[in-house]
Structure 1
Amino acid sequence: MDKIALQNVHNRIKPYIHKTPVLTSRLLNNICGANVFFKCENFQKMGAFKIRGATNAILNLTEAQKSKGVVTHSSGNFAQALSLAAKKIGVKAYIVMPKNVPQVKKDAVKTYKGIIIECESNIIAREEEAKHIQIEKGAAFIHPSNNDDVIHGQGTAAIELLEDYPSLDYIFTPVGGGGLLAGTILVAQFFSENCKVIAGEPKETDDAYRSLHSGNIETNESSNTIADGLRTHLGDRNFPIIKKYVDSIIRVQEDEIVDAMKLIWERMKIIVEPSSAVAFAAVLKHKEALKNRNIGVIISGGNVDLSNLPF
């Protein structure tokens, strides 16, 4: 993958996505002691960056593959993303979701014409059911984060950010499955001269932090974080990129995530989900080392249950 290839990915998916705005806040700049540029993927189609990778992955399938549909397992944003991308491209999407997923998430997938197959609430059951759909329907499996086409698609948010603000010193993203982080790292390598990429991660599910330090993909025994979109772990496609090129991974506590989320809601008047707030929480925690720097923050999504806010 090189700059031209990544630019081709961006050009390929442009008709299917929004170019999301970049917002700033003088007050938040003062709090951080830096210039912070928020890439607002909460304004993206289906409310999150994941439509980018889902679209690129489907567009890269052969016509024969498209005719048999796609399948993924997801309890959150990628379920919606793949459903919407498939609908727009004219492909069936089979979505394996745990039985205990909130009805609001199932309803969103159904709105985008995704075909839901329910399973037990564990990763083994999700993977086995997805495999069953692959065999029965001939559908192409698209992993939410550990897929090269998905990774490259997710990186296009950073392409747009760096096109608008080429002098960024850092880009902060959240890290869960690793697709957004790996894609952002690749883009920073080719679209900037010295922009470093830093990830924010909940302390309660710090598998990426531990993986970076052990050199092997670690998993979590606990999923006790408000940032429900970050409860997944890295994969063999994105971890090598992260391991080699990420500047650092900053762990944040639950109260720091809530405080960052509340600050964005109150001061910027935009809706962001807890997983998105993790990246800004990392900026706030690390602000002494970021003084007077130009910092990009990818607000990964805004799909939040308004009846269950943490503040």
Structure 2
Amino acid sequence: MSQSEVREEHPIAEPFPIAPGVYAMRGTRGANVGAVVTDEGIILIDTPLIPQEAWKWRDFLQEVSGGKPFLYIINTDHHRGHIVGNMWFDCPVIAHHIAWRYMRGYRDNFKQRVRQLFKKQPEIQAHLQDIRIILPEITFQEKFAVFKGGRQVRVIHVGGHTPATSIVYVPDAKVVFAGDLISLGEHPFMTQATSKAWLDGLTLIRRLHPEVVVPGHGDVGGPEITEPISKYLRYIRSHVRSHLKAGHSKVDTANALAPELLPWFGIPKYRRPKITQQIKQGIGKVYVELEQEMRQKGELPPREEKSASKEEK
């Protein structure tokens, strides 16, 4: 199989150890990925989007494991950056039931959008002409554990980033793979988000007392890397709550808060208009979420029902 070099502006990511028998590869185009090597074989956490990176990752793991088989893929979410690379590994997939529901709906338009990401990189696009969506064979609702080769790998549904978001905990190594619950140095995508569940998931990571946390995007660190996104979400919730109490609309709230949030992370000038819209979408999601919470608690008056028909004059 030909494994063309990826263009210089998107170099192939490098795998590295993070704990005994636990590995990560960061800087991939999709999301950071991980692996746990057991006496019986290898358990993967997400898979690289770019074929060349998936092949590099596969070959690396075969080498460090002494040729052990791939046992399972755990997908922490249903987005393309986590699941497209499943097709390069011959093993069953584990994911939350909601992720399975999304993934089974991926058809030709989804595959075409993936290919379009690399329209200026034909050496990548050429290997994405026949994308196969490998659906989860094993799904769960709240928690799931894999016991293989003397190791335990726990999968915990947290939601937050999307309804399907899960984290992976390796107790004997004290490692957490946080998926897209943590994206360092960038504004989070919140189009499917629930901010309260997101904050609860970050709190759970801290309560697990890991020594190593692998984010969905960004550098590996410790539990302290949960704090930037926690602070960001708390800021949005606090200020959206104030705007709701003042009777401000969703649009006015987003327009007021977006300029305050934009400088939180270093954004190149040419990306600011697009990122501003992304921030406004996230504020809008939190606005709707908090409005419902506050009405249920009696902090806002019940929504007035609109008349079904206008009175005749």
Flag whether TM exceeds 0.5 (same fold).
no
Structure number with higher relative contact order (C-alpha < 8 Å, ≥ 6 residues apart): 1
Structure with more of its chain in helix, by fraction: 1
Shorter-chain TM-score bucket reads 0.3 to 0.5
